[in-house]
Amino acid sequence: MSKFVIECPSCGRYAEASTGFFAKKKIDCACGYTINVKTDKLSSKVCPSCGNTVVYDQSKGEDAKCPVCHEKINTRESMAALAEFTCPSCSCKLSADKSSSKYTCPLCDTVIDVQERIAKENIKNQGLASVIKYEGGNDTFVWKHPIEDYNLGSQLIVHESQEAIFFRDGKALDLFGAGRYTLATQNIPLLENLYKLPTNTTEVFHSEVYFVNLTTQMGIKWGTDSKVRLFDPASGLHIEIGACGNFSLRVSDSRKLLVKLVGTASEFKQNEVMGDPYSISSVVGKFKALVMTKVKANLARIIKENNINILEIDEYIDVVSDKLRIAINEILAEYGLTMPEFFVTAVMTPDDDPNFRRLKQQFADKTLKVREEEIRKAEAEAAQSRKILEAQTEAQLKMVGAQGEAEALKIKAQAEAEAYKAQAFAEAEEMRAKGYTYQQETARMVGMEAMQNGITGNGSGGAASALGDIAGLGVTLGAMGGVIGMTKDALSPIMQTSSEIGGSVVPPAADTWNCACGCKDIKSKFCPDCGSPKPAPVVGWDCACGHKNITSKFCPECGSKKPEATTWDCPECGNKGISAKFCPECGHKREG
């Protein structure tokens, strides 16, 4: 068996009941009402968490939960927050939450101002009000103190986030900021001029005190009650959209708010700004029409002026929110209020509207077309880049090929020069090893040349034959002088002797030729002035492609290179790898 507290539906007092098979089914209340535990255990109460008036089971005790927000509704803290008072009509004792504003008497149906009734009964029990302070909730902008009769010397306490204003007949008089004040004539000069207050602190004066909450009230929800018609200039379609969100509100001018909005009302709460559709007693929103009108009038205009695509409006919600806040604040300033923040949290688009579906399809087609054009442009640029790159690569390859061929020819020429130089040094070393000089080798080569030219020196020709041999020898010496680089002065005695001797001999008929030194009509094989040999007839070479008598190193038809000269082996002495016409060992002439 467990016990719980049950409220008397007649007087509002609480009695103790219990659960179980042997528990009392009926309890007599002090007011004379018989409580039926089985039926009266279901009671209605304002939930301290969500503020809704709900029906709950009292027999569950502290475990009873609100059916709306599912928070505990019958806790010990809520029981301790109850205040007892009497009905001004039937004088029955009642109990309600200390923070409640209205309470309906269950006997006579009188609507009671809870705060004012509690304050008056406290004054009745304790005397005139000695302390005047704010006792409203955090969601209240303006709260009127329920007591209207004060005596000089009372203490006025104003919190940091509040202001207190004295009123008389709806006229705002003295205003007090944060602090603690003792009501005296020097503190309330306007009230003294109106009342002509005496200096005696026990005198009572009649006035009204309003507390204004200066804190920023946040999370006030708003939403359009109907669709906003929007014309999209890009597509030429009409669509309907909705919007919702929340905003914050703060008092900017206490006097203006009290005079123009509150008047003689006892309070102005947050739920009165936009109305509370979920409350049992429907509260009319004082600024609902203002907010709705400004949102509807400016939402479509802002979207059009800023060229905002409705399909991309989420990217511009901050811009839309700020412009709507500015438009609404222009009217709120006349009531002493300001809106620090205004948020559009969602824009509802008509997904089932055919026009909106066409708009989305148009946007998708346009985006796809732009994307395809970008792809085609990129492909064309890539193709052009490939062509340029290929042309540059081909030019570089040709340049590298030409440079490589020239470099190869240069390297070959250098190699041939080095080979000739090495051969010359080898021949010089060979001559030193054999013990004869260069002059002796020259004489030997002259003799070999004479032999090759048919000059024997031992024929039967007598004087004429001897002179011919000497003349032939003179010519051979002239040729050798050109080979070894001898000067004309060094060879002149020999050339003179050979010319004189050979002048008496008639040389065989031959074609004349001109030397590079200027001597002309030369009939001998060597120039009589410089000793240069007669140029050998130019003999061309035949290419494999069929082109013949080629004098250049490369074939002009196919570009093939001239074949390299082959070496030969001397059949007389056995020397191998000879590239010259004569064997350097024995002087044997190359055959063929």
pLDDT tens digits for range 98-134: 767 777 887 788 888 887 777 777 665 654 556 788 8
Q: What is the pLDDT of residue 567?
A: 76
Q: What is the pLDDT of residue 466?
A: 42
Q: Is residue 103 a contact partner of residue 94, using CB atoms and an 8 Å limit?
A: yes
Domains of the chain: 217-350 (3.30.479.30), 538-592 (no CATH)
Q: What is the pLDDT of residue 341?
A: 93
Closest CA to 7 of 64, 88, 49: 64
Over range 291-300, report the average pLDDT: 88
The yes-or-no verdict on residue 445 having pLDDT over 90 is no
Lowest mean pLDDT among 160-174, 176-190, 380-394, 568-582: 176-190
Highest mean pLDDT among 50-59, 217-226, 318-327, 475-484: 318-327
The yes-or-no verdict on residue 13 having pLDDT over 80 is no
Over range 528-557, report the average pLDDT: 78
Q: What is the pLDDT of residue 451?
A: 64
Answer with the residue of higher pLDDT: 415 or 468: 415
Over range 570-575, report the average pLDDT: 84
The helix (H) or strand (E) run that includes residue 351 is none
pLDDT classification of 459: cutoffs 50, 70, 90: very low
Q: Which two tokens stand for residue 54?
A: 């709900």
pLDDT classification of 486: cutoffs 50, 70, 90: very low
pLDDT classification of 520: cutoffs 50, 70, 90: confident
The yes-or-no verdict on residue 322 having pLDDT over 90 is yes
DSSP calls for 142-181: EEE-S--EEEEEEEEEE-TTEEEEEEETTEEEEEE-SEEE
Secondary structure class of 110 (helix, strand, coil): coil
Over range 524-539, report the average pLDDT: 77
Highest mean pLDDT among 183-187, 302-306, 361-365: 302-306
Lowest mean pLDDT among 364-368, 470-474, 512-516, 546-550: 470-474
Highest mean pLDDT among 10-24, 216-230, 299-313, 354-368: 216-230
Rounded to the nearest 5°, which phi and psi values hold at 549? 55, 50
Q: What is the pLDDT of residue 533?
A: 84
Rounded to the nearest 5°, which phi and psi values hold at 50? -105, -10
Q: Which two tokens stand for residue 273?
A: 């700004």
Strands (E), 31-73: 34-36, 42-46, 53-57
Average pLDDT, the chain: 74
Q: Which two tokens stand for residue 67?
A: 């059916």
Q: Hey, what amino acid is at 281?
A: S
Q: How far apart are CA 310 and CA 29, in angstroms?
A: 66
Answer with the residue of higher pLDDT: 473 or 226: 226
Q: What is the pLDDT of residue 471?
A: 44
Over range 579-588, report the average pLDDT: 80
Percentage with pLDDT > 70 across the chain: 72
Q: What is the pLDDT of residue 78?
A: 58
pLDDT (tens digit per residue) in 258-273:
888 887 788 888 888 8
Size of the chain in residues: 592
Cα angle value 557/560/566 (rounded, 5°): 135
Burial class, 150, CB count within 10 angstroms (exposed 0-12 / middle 13-18 / buried 19+)? buried
Q: What is the pLDDT of residue 546?
A: 80
The yes-or-no verdict on residue 289 having pLDDT over 70 is yes
Secondary structure class of 331 (helix, strand, coil): helix
Q: Is residue 530 a contact partner of residue 522, using CB atoms and an 8 Å limit?
A: no
Highest mean pLDDT among 93-97, 165-169, 177-181: 177-181
The yes-or-no verdict on residue 227 having pLDDT over 60 is yes
Answer with the residue of higher pLDDT: 72 or 460: 72
Q: What is the pLDDT of residue 555?
A: 85
Q: What is the pLDDT of residue 175?
A: 85
pLDDT classification of 498: cutoffs 50, 70, 90: very low
